[in-house]
């Protein structure tokens, strides 16, 4: 049975209920979370030590896009890759708009969603992990370093000074998220895991994008591996999509929140911090119709298409 929905301009579409897809989506989210936690643990040996007496059962988890960094990290990365001729900025804009239209009108088919996940970020298939990390280091310096929110960075440092470990949690590929974490002096990152064989990317995702419930799965999985007491942990985000992650910890804080998260935070009594001016907030916020995970999906689908068409 479908759901009839009316949109501005008189368009009417019929969208199938998602209930039949929920078990599979939940399985993929759990797989993505577990893979991300495994990657984070593997990278932890490279992490800098906490600056205060170690507090081994408490930690903090920070979303990246519009929470730790102005704008979307995956988009900054994509811009850098466009400059390196992996694809054009016009391709990026066109496919992002097309993906947004699909989401607005409900015209993404189940098969289309599956293919998007299967091929996510396939433009890097055949490239080595080390090559992409090297590009990531350069792109961070060029396009990301000056976009870190000083206020959020100070909150992360507060946790480090208290002896707590701090992880970023993002839909951005974990290899790139780890670069951001390392440059900020944090413990590490939970991010989307890209499949690789013998140090070369296959162009597939392990599970799904680390988004929404996937982030909550990742935080729980990491807590189990690291012996964390989630009641003593904190999480920070700007997006209502991260309510699942914010809900699994003892202290949740809305940073630069979108309107839906602001309402949810007020309802639940969560602290709200906003480091934006009104004008800047309007300029840099990711449109609510996309959100961080949807934007990452738009880029993934667009770049996969670009590779197939070339």
| Active-site position among 65, 91, 242, 258 | 65
User: If we measure between CA atoms, which residue out of 300, 281, 310 comes closest to residue 96?
Assistant: 300
| Active-site position among 18, 38, 55, 63 | 63
Q: Is 65 a catalytic residue?
A: yes
Q: Is 175 a catalytic residue?
A: no
Alpha carbon distances (Å) from 33 to 115, 192, 196: 20, 8, 17
d(CA 299, CA 177): 16
User: What residues have CB less than 8 Å from 146, skipping those under 6 apart?
Assistant: none
User: What residues have CB less than 8 Å from 30, skipping those under 6 apart?
Assistant: 207, 214, 217
Cα dihedral sign, 72-74-78-84: positive
Match 């590490």 to its residue by tokens.
188
Match 């012996």 to its residue by tokens.
227
Alpha carbon distances (Å) from 184 to 11, 125, 137, 165: 46, 28, 13, 13
Q: Annotated catalytic sites, by residue?
A: 63, 65
């Amino acid at each position: 049975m479908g759901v009839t929905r009316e949109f501005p301009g008189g368009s009417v579409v019929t969208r199938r209920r998602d209930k039949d897809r929920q078990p599979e989506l939940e399985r993929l989210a759990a797989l993505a979370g577990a893979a991300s936690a495994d990657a984070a643990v593997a990278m932890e040996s490279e992490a800098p030590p906490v600056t205060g007496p170690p507090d081994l059962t408490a930690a903090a988890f920070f979303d990246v896009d519009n929470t730790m960094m102005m704008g979307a990290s995956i988009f900054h990365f994509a811009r850098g890759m466009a400059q390196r001729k992996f694809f054009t900025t016009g391709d990026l804009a066109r496919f992002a708009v097309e993906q947004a239209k699909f989401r607005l009108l409900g015209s993404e088919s189940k098969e289309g969603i599956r293919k998007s996940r299967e091929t996510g970020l396939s433009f890097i298939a055949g490239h080595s992990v080390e090559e992409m990390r090297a590009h990531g280091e350069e792109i961070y310096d060029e396009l990301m370093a000056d976009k870190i929110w000083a206020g959020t960075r100070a909150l992360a440092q507060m946790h480090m000074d208290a002896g707590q470990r701090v992880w970023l949690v993002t839909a951005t590929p974990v290899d790139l998220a780890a670069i951001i974490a390392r440059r900020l002096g944090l413990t590490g990152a939970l991010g989307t895991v890209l499949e690789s064989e013998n140090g070369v990317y296959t162009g597939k995702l392990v599970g799904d994008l680390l988004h929404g419930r996937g982030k909550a799965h990742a935080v729980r999985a990491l807590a189990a591996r690291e012996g964390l007491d989630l009641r003593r942990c904190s999480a920070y985000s700007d997006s209502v999509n991260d309510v699942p992650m914010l809900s699994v910890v003892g202290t949740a804080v809305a940073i630069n929140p979108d309107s839906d998260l602001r309402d949810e935070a007020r309802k639940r009594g969560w602290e709200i911090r906003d480091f934006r001016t009104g004008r800047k907030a309007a300029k840099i916020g990711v449109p609510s119709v996309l959100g961080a995970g949807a934007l990452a999906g738009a880029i993934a689908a667009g770049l996969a298409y670009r590779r197939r068409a070339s």
